[in-house]
A and B are shown apart, each in its own frame.
Chain A
Amino acid sequence: MKPIEILTQALELLAALAAAPLFLGWVNQCRAWLQNRRAPSIWLPYRGIRKLFHKDAVIAANASPFFRLAPYVVFGAMVVAAGIIPSMGTRLPFTVAADAIALVGLLATARVFLSLAAVDIGTAFGTLGARREMMVGFLAEPALLMVIFVASIISATTALPAIAESLATHRLGLYPSLAFTAIAFTLILLAENARLPIDNPATHLELTMIHEAMVLEYSARHLALMEWAAALKLFNYACIGFALFLPWGISIGTGSPLSLLASIPLLGAKLTVTGAALAFIETISAKLRVFRAPEFLAIAFMLAVLGLLVHLLLGA
């Protein structure tokens, strides 16, 4: 391992940890602007997390050790995921150990732990949230895998850095197949991150909740970790999207520290635009009924398959 590789890896991890709440704050701010509300501070997620860490944890009398373990596992999984996804540079030594399929598995691990923890207390909300989360998950996972498949087939590898490299060094211009999969991926991102139109991050109305229902019983540091993990998940998904569809500007191959440095503002710019776009999508769409979620994700899946067929037919 060369110093530059370790530097890239460390930088990406730290950036993800530090910037994830900021990204969430930015999305919330954009949403407020678009909805003609006074925007909360962009630093609000940090303050929330800090406040929660200082509080005393209250857990249910019948909570098992699993309940206390889960936030750490969910958070840890999201941190590891951040280490797999190339957001600034492709020279990530850790990615040898985990490719895109392992990344999907890792996200599934976090989902399973979160859902099981939600079942642990035995409340109506918790179990309801868990089953809805698993429902969205089992529909989104194959669709996500198909999206990754298209990119993998184009670049003949499942290693994310190699995919990003091969797509970034290709002639400028999006593959037609990737255009379809990009739309599919956007739908998956919305569903997997508990955003509108599948879930509403701003509500606590039981008919509509998914993610919030699962973390209802958590408090203090456990809740802080869950919230931070959710922010990291959104950040990670955005970065997967960049690696697959907007890999330009990423530091490639034997890139110098300078190119790594240059990729930081570029990542910031991509995140800024994506956050605004996300807020825009959320503002113009209404919450779907829970049982419309399968149709929504089926569209994502079909688009991904369409992308695959387009690639196989046109070779592009």
Chain B
Amino acid sequence: MTLYIDSSLRACLTLIGLWALIGVAGLLRPMSVGFVGRMLFPLGALCGLALAVVAVTSLGAPPEQAVLKVGLPDLPMHVRRDALASFFLLLLGGSSAGISIFAAGYFRRGEGTAPGLLCLQYHLFLASMGFVLLADDAYAFMVAWETMAVSSYFLVTTQHALGEIRRAGFLYLLIAHVGAIAILLSFGVMQGGSWQFTFDAMRGAHLTPYWATAAFLLALFGFGAKAGLVPLHVWLPEAHPAAPSPVSALMSGAMLKVAVYGVLRATFDLLGKPEWWWGLVLLTIGLFSAVYGVAFAAVQTDMKRLLAWSSIENLGIIFAAVGLGIVFYGVGMDSLAALALIAALYHSLNHAFIKSLLFLGTGAVLHSTGERNLGRLGGLIHRMPWVAWLTLVGALAMAGLPPLNGFVSEWLLLQAFLFAHEVPRTFVNMILPIGAALVALSAALAAYVMVKFFGVIFLGQPRESALARARDAGVLERIGLTWLVLGCISLGLLPTYLIGALRIVVAQFSGAALPRTGAPWWLLAPLAHRQASYSAPIFLIALMSSVVLTVLLVRRLYHYRVRRAPAWDGGFGRLDARMQDTAEGFGQPIRHIFGALFAVKRDLPSAFDPSPRYRVFVSDRIWQWLYVPLGTLVQRTADTLTWVQQGRISAYLTYSFTTLIVLLALML
């Protein structure tokens, strides 16, 4: 392909620039939903598609670099496209194509920010994510990173008239900036005294293990804050529900993965060879986040908040996989390291598609019913069959069920865990396999969460009479959902192609190579000599044929008469929608079993209450234990320092003078 030979880097930059241009074009007719929705968003989707295509064709290509003469004088921006960047560009382009086409039919007038402005913010957000992936010096990286944070902040606060949403936005911005400071400091350590802030200089810098560890921990803090690792996760369950659904989808699907990219870039590329025990740190935090996130997801009553917590879980699993990869890598077990890293990347891509799909599904439900609360939904499979069946695929994939894509990455990760006991570190090798059990626990809990999510929203009886007026999603929205569903299915059925590509990606950024096993295209056997194999196409054919055969046999041998009657319900009769489990009820076993994690507050009515109401509030202990004291501390410090602010010009002049003297004294 000429494009590929010419320069895929240039193609990527052009497409990212186009995104920015589309955004600016939104300002031409800011109030026109027709122009913005029917013209610009589909164009943005096309750009995303093109970006994904360019990224796929360039996955195996050698790295390319360029210097852009933009920005401050004497501070040009360096850009570089390598396999790792290509992979994440594929993730960004592929998932955003579906999200943008959905968004084309989603945004309406009168919902907060004007459509044109929203278009600008949305496409700037996309472009900045793309640029983060291509940046090759700390300056360009931080500019793109901050643009990403700020544009997404404005998107989160689209409905800024609501105080709750402004609060969520502020929390997001705050944690994003605390994280950004850590990343900046991390770059400061990584340059290793050369004072060159290009990534090339950082690759060449020789850090002592002590400083390398400091840089790693800072990067982990910074990127972990963006990825929503516990305990830096608090913004996520606030910001995701506050944002419009396509934005939640983009943030959860793509932005969180940019943080994964950051960690991989920093540990493997910029810092060179990671220490093996860094992996343990990542693994511990990741597994804790996974279990913590999914336990909270199970007790949520707001559907978008539920998905946000589930994102925390999935990012936890991705980080655990990266951690396992680093452990293997550090002790020289290269092929297993590659396997774990492939699992991490695979799960990133899977999560981008699945979670976008689920968020868009909730968006369609939200638009047609006006409800986010699970307790007021139900039975929508009858009113919104398109959304329901497409979302079902996402829910099953999120639950990690074969033959969909969620299972593939889980399978790969478990295969890697299976050999964790061979790590030549006593005690560590005995604890590591238990990590597999935690991965399995969170996967099984994810299934619980998805049964709750899908069952309460789409199945059962409608819990409100207004739900009878719910309408199915429009054509553009259906196209967006279908695109993501196709992604989930093809990633699930044809994993060997992607793994073949990921093998190259991982080999390029880490040097750990997974040997080829010569398995045919339909067979996934990453470690053939270990005799572990899985074939999604055959699995699907077997399952489908056994289902179809059963249907045909039952029809042939017996009959298929069906009579409709009121639900039997054990013969009690007088069944109504209030008798179904509420979202709280469905989460009750989890609240009971994981009671130690939750701060539960109950409002119990008295026995004589004429209109009794039972309410239960579940909140995060980390908020009370960590953030509230921290906030109080900051407030107190600020209070004590207010006396500095005298409001008299002489006082400020004195401050300036003292500062000058001190600086002079230091310099001389």
Q: Which residues of A contact B (CB under 8 A)?
A: 53-54, 56-64, 66, 68, 72-73, 75-77, 79-80, 83, 94, 96-99, 101-102, 104-106, 108-109, 111-112, 115-116, 119-125, 127-128, 130-132, 134-135, 137-139, 141-143, 145-146, 149, 152-153, 156-159, 162, 204, 206, 216-217, 221, 225, 291, 294, 301, 305, 308-309, 312-313
Task: Say which residue of B402, B407, B531, B559 sits within 8 Å of A159 (CB atoms).
Answer: B531
Question: Can you list 23 pairs linking A and B with CB atoms under 8 Å apart?
Answer: A54-B558, A60-B564, A77-B543, A80-B542, A96-B523, A101-B534, A102-B411, A112-B396, A115-B451, A116-B459, A124-B581, A125-B569, A127-B460, A131-B452, A134-B448, A137-B447, A138-B445, A139-B593, A141-B443, A142-B438, A157-B532, A216-B568, A217-B568
Q: Is the CB of A134 within 8 A of B579?
A: no
List of A residues within 8 angstroms of B633 by Cβ? none
Q: Is the CB of B543 within 8 A of A120?
A: no
B469 contacts the other chain (Cβ, under 8 Å)? no
List of B residues within 8 angstroms of A141 by Cβ? 440-441, 443-444
B194 contacts the other chain (Cβ, under 8 Å)? no
Q: Is the CB of B535 within 8 A of A96?
A: yes
Q: Is the CB of B532 within 8 A of A109?
A: no
Bound-state CA distance A228–B444 (Å) is 25
Least distance between A6 CB and chain B CB atoms (Å)? 14
Q: Which 6 A-B pairs have the closest CB atoms?
A: A122-B460, A122-B461, A119-B455, A127-B581, A97-B538, A76-B547
Q: Which of B379, B444, B448, B566 has the most CB of A within 10 A?
A: B444
Beyond A66-B392, A142-B441, 16 extra complex contacts between A and B, CB < 8 Å: A53-B557, A98-B542, A101-B410, A104-B440, A108-B444, A115-B451, A116-B455, A119-B581, A125-B570, A131-B452, A138-B444, A146-B440, A149-B436, A206-B570, A217-B568, A221-B554
Q: Is the CB of A72 within 8 A of B551?
A: yes
Q: Is the CB of A97 within 8 A of B567?
A: no
Chain B stretch 57-82: residues in CB contact (< 8 A) with chain A = none
Q: Which residue of B lies closest to A209 (CB)?
A: B570
List of A residues within 8 angstroms of B444 by Cβ? 108, 137-139, 141-142
Q: Which residues of B contact A (CB under 8 A)?
A: 378-379, 381-382, 392, 396, 399-402, 407, 410-411, 414-415, 418, 421, 429-430, 433-434, 436-438, 440-441, 443-445, 447-448, 450-452, 454-456, 459-461, 523, 530-535, 538-539, 542-544, 546-547, 550-551, 554, 557-570, 575, 577, 579-581, 585-586, 588-590, 592-593
Q: Is the CB of B460 within 8 A of A121?
A: yes
List of B residues within 8 angstroms of A94 by Cβ? 538, 542
Bound-state CA distance A136–B314 (Å) is 22
Task: Say which residue of B399, B414, B461 sits within 8 Å of A101 (CB atoms).
Answer: B414
Task: Say which residue of A60, A75, A97 sits within 8 Å of B542 (CB atoms).
Answer: A97
Bound-state CA distance A63–B381 (Å) is 10
Q: Is the CB of B451 within 8 A of A130?
A: yes
Q: Which residue of A lies closest to B400 (CB)?
A: A105
Quick one: given A72-B550, A105-B401, A123-B580, are A115 and B455 in contact (CB under 8 Å)? yes
Chain A binding surface, main DSSP class: helix
Least distance between B424 CB and chain A CB atoms (Å)? 13
Bound-state CA distance A141–B445 (Å) is 10
Q: Is the CB of B429 within 8 A of A312?
A: yes
List of B residues within 8 angstroms of A313 by Cβ? 430
Q: Is the CB of A145 within 8 A of B532?
A: no
List of B residues within 8 angstroms of A119 by Cβ? 451, 455-456, 459-460, 580-581
Least distance between A47 CB and chain B CB atoms (Å)? 15
Q: Is the CB of A138 within 8 A of B448?
A: yes
Bound-state CA distance A153–B564 (Å) is 52
Q: Which residue of A lies closest to B418 (CB)?
A: A152
Q: Which residue of A lies closest to B415 (CB)?
A: A158
Bound-state CA distance A228–B31 (Å) is 60
Q: Is the CB of B382 within 8 A of A64?
A: yes
List of A residues within 8 angstroms of B407 by Cβ? 102, 105
List of B residues within 8 angstroms of A137 by Cβ? 444, 447-448
Q: Which of A77, A116, A308 has the most CB of B within 10 A?
A: A116
Q: Is the CB of A62 within 8 A of B534?
A: no
Q: Is the CB of B546 within 8 A of A158?
A: no
Quick one: given A97-B539, A98-B535, A162-B531, are A60 and B378 in contact (CB under 8 Å)? no
Least distance between B49 CB and chain A CB atoms (Å)? 31
List of A residues within 8 angstroms of B415 by Cβ? 101, 158
Q: Is the CB of B399 within 8 A of A146?
A: no
List of A residues within 8 angstroms of B535 by Cβ? 96-98
Least distance between B391 CB and chain A CB atoms (Å)? 12
Bound-state CA distance A235–B411 (Å) is 25
Q: Which of A130, A158, A206 has the most CB of B within 10 A?
A: A158
Bound-state CA distance A66–B563 (Å) is 16
Q: Is the CB of B566 within 8 A of A60?
A: yes
List of B residues within 8 angstroms of A60 by Cβ? 564-568
Bound-state CA distance A115–B451 (Å) is 7
Q: Is the CB of B418 within 8 A of A153?
A: yes
Quick one: given A122-B580, A135-B448, are A72 and B547 in contact (CB under 8 Å)? yes
List of B residues within 8 angstroms of A99 by Cβ? 532-534
Q: Which residue of B lies closest to A95 (CB)?
A: B533
Q: Which residue of A lies closest to B461 (CB)?
A: A122
List of A residues within 8 angstroms of B539 by Cβ? 80, 97-98, 102
Bound-state CA distance A237–B335 (Å) is 34
Least distance between A195 CB and chain B CB atoms (Å)? 19
Bound-state CA distance A131–B445 (Å) is 12
Quick one: given A60-B568, A115-B455, A142-B437, are A122 and B399 in contact (CB under 8 Å)? no
List of B residues within 8 angstroms of A130 by Cβ? 451, 455, 581
Least distance between A41 CB and chain B CB atoms (Å)? 23
Bound-state CA distance A225–B553 (Å) is 12
Bound-state CA distance A4–B454 (Å) is 44
Task: Say which residue of A120, A139, A159 sits within 8 Å of B459 (CB atoms).
Answer: A120
Q: Is the CB of B581 within 8 A of A53?
A: no
Task: Say which residue of B433, B447, B544 sits within 8 Å of A149 (CB atoms).
Answer: B433
Q: Which residue of B lies closest to A109 (CB)?
A: B401
Quick one: given A76-B543, A123-B569, A157-B530, are A57 and B459 in contact (CB under 8 Å)? no
Q: Is the CB of B570 within 8 A of A79?
A: no
Q: Is the CB of B450 within 8 A of A112?
A: yes
List of B residues within 8 angstroms of A153 by Cβ? 418, 421, 433
Least distance between B547 CB and chain A CB atoms (Å)? 4
Least distance between A274 CB and chain B CB atoms (Å)? 25
List of B residues within 8 angstroms of A132 by Cβ? 589
Least distance between B353 CB and chain A CB atoms (Å)? 19
Q: Is the CB of B579 within 8 A of A123?
A: yes
List of B residues within 8 angstroms of A63 by Cβ? 564
Quick one: given A75-B550, A97-B542, A102-B411, are A124 and B459 in contact (CB under 8 Å)? no
Least distance between B395 CB and chain A CB atoms (Å)? 9
List of B residues within 8 angstroms of A116 by Cβ? 451, 454-455, 459
Least distance between A52 CB and chain B CB atoms (Å)? 10
List of B residues within 8 angstroms of A138 by Cβ? 441, 444-445, 447-448
Q: Is the CB of A146 within 8 A of B437?
A: yes
Bound-state CA distance A131–B590 (Å) is 10
Q: Is the CB of A122 within 8 A of B546?
A: no
Q: Which of A105, A108, A217, A294 has the most CB of B within 10 A?
A: A105
List of A residues within 8 angstroms of B459 by Cβ? 64, 66, 116, 119-120, 122
List of B residues within 8 angstroms of A121 by Cβ? 460-461, 567, 569
Least distance between A21 CB and chain B CB atoms (Å)? 16
Least distance between B460 CB and chain A CB atoms (Å)? 3
Q: Is the CB of B585 within 8 A of A127?
A: yes
Quick one: given A62-B567, A124-B579, are A294 and B546 in contact (CB under 8 Å)? no
List of A residues within 8 angstroms of B410 by Cβ? 101, 105
Q: Which residue of B lies closest to A298 (CB)?
A: B593
Q: Is the CB of A102 within 8 A of B534?
A: yes
